[in-house]
Amino acid sequence: MSPAGHRSYSFRTFGIRENKMNIPSSQSGHWTDDELLAFHYGVGPSGEHLEGCADCQTRLAAMQLNRERIEGAASLADAVSLEFLAAQRRSIYQSTEKPVRWWSAVPVRRWAAGMATAGILGGSVAVYEHNRQVQLIQERIADARLAQEVTMMADDTGSPAVAPLEGLFE
């Protein structure tokens, strides 16, 4: 609490650095900058001293002017120009006035990706089936050759050198 029975606020509470305008109230009878800021935001002491003290009124007015200047600079930096907004509106109107083609409503990228995937899968199956058919044909040919060779071996009576021996057993 301050000597006058009012709550004391620090500059750190309001994020403001202490400067040379801060006058100790116990020595001069004037409000400190902390008390002026608190009054300005409606959380400080009552305005009885401020109504009769020109020095404190001047300091409070300087603080308010400084705050308005800072807020004005911030609002100018964030403002969007009217020319920009008008150009944006014209651009939107131009894009809505263009005729819509029937193919623009079709999700081409989705269809293209799906068709490419289906094409790759279909091609893979066709290649696999072709290779499988060729392999089956080669296996049938190999089986036919084996059967032919076995038949020839069964029909073959033997070599001419073995013929005299076979004659003994007949």
pLDDT of residue 132: 96
Across the 170 residues of the chain, what is the mean pLDDT of every consecutive 10-residue run? 44 44 59 84 78 87 87 70 83 79 73 91 96 95 92 73 69
Please give the radius of gyration of the chain, using alpha carbons only, rounded to the nearest integer: 51
Tell me how far apart the alpha carbons of residues 113 and 157 are, in angstroms, rounded to a whole number.
68
Same domain? For 69 and 123 the reply is no
pLDDT score recorded for residue 56: 87
Give the C-alpha separation, 165 to 84, whole Å: 115
Domain of 31, in residue numbers: 11-78
Q: Which residue is associated with the tokens 């750190």?
A: 12
For residue 4, the model assigns a pLDDT of: 46
Quick one: 17 and 71 in the same domain? yes
Q: Which pLDDT does position 107 carry in this prediction?
A: 76
Residue 41 covered by a domain: yes
Residues 121 and 72 in one domain: no
Q: How many structural domains compose the chain?
A: 2
Which of 2, 1, 32 shows the shortest CA–CA distance to 14? 32
Count of alpha carbons within 13 angstroms of residue 154, beta-carbon side: 6
**pLDDT score recorded for residue 121:** 96
Query: Residue 30 contacts by C-beta under 8 Å, 6 or more apart in sequence?
Result: 23, 49, 53, 55, 56
